[in-house]
Structure 1
Amino acid sequence: MTESGQDGFFDRVYEMVAQVPAGMVATYGQITKLVGEPRKARYVGFALHVNPQPGIIPCHRIVFADGRLCEGFAFGGPEAQHEMLAGEGVSFLPDGRVDLARHRWPAGME
């Protein structure tokens, strides 16, 4: 993978997101902490918006801290993200948010 973003930040994001297993989600803020750049959640969003390997880097598994899906999901909108997550067995609360208590990837949550 080529270096992209400031000091390879985008590449670090892609490497971390690629580790989120099917059936699990991580939050934008969680990814920033795992790559050593806390408080750059918006930049994670920028990186995922230009995902160079859709289908390989599972950006659909990244959600907001409250479990909401991204309104501007780059690969088809929130309906597509919902469908992809549901297809992996992710469950949702009645208001449409991901059930983080059941499906949040535990990495970095200690």
Structure 2
Amino acid sequence: MVRSSPRWTGSDAALRSLQVAFDVEKQVIDAVRYAAFKNQLSPSDQIRHILGLPCTSKPVRPRLTVSLSDADYAILAERFGVAVDDKRKIKESLHLALIEFARGQQAGGGDAL
């Protein structure tokens, strides 16, 4: 028998879990995602809630992520009038753009891009 490292023993139960995928209509996917959003849950935790299963997810720091390529940085640098190599300033500008977007949504601005 192979002994597992103590650092990996906590993941034994996770290794025994199986991910289940559901092929459902877009309406079902949208409804689950919307409910998850309203309840501040992940879609997976929302499905567990719907099915009456315990949710073991820990609360996580709320944040948004996006992957940006070098080409994306170049476009954003031009849009925000920032040097292309100043990624920190570009990130700050993105942060402000998201805040402005949210404020527009709260004021009834719709899905303006």
Query: TM class by shorter-chain length?
Result: under 0.3
The TM-score with structure 1 as length reference comes to: 0.27
The TM-score with structure 2 as length reference comes to: 0.26
Higher relative contact order (CA 8 A, sep 6+): 1
Higher helix residue share? 2
Larger Rg, first or second structure (1 or 2): 2
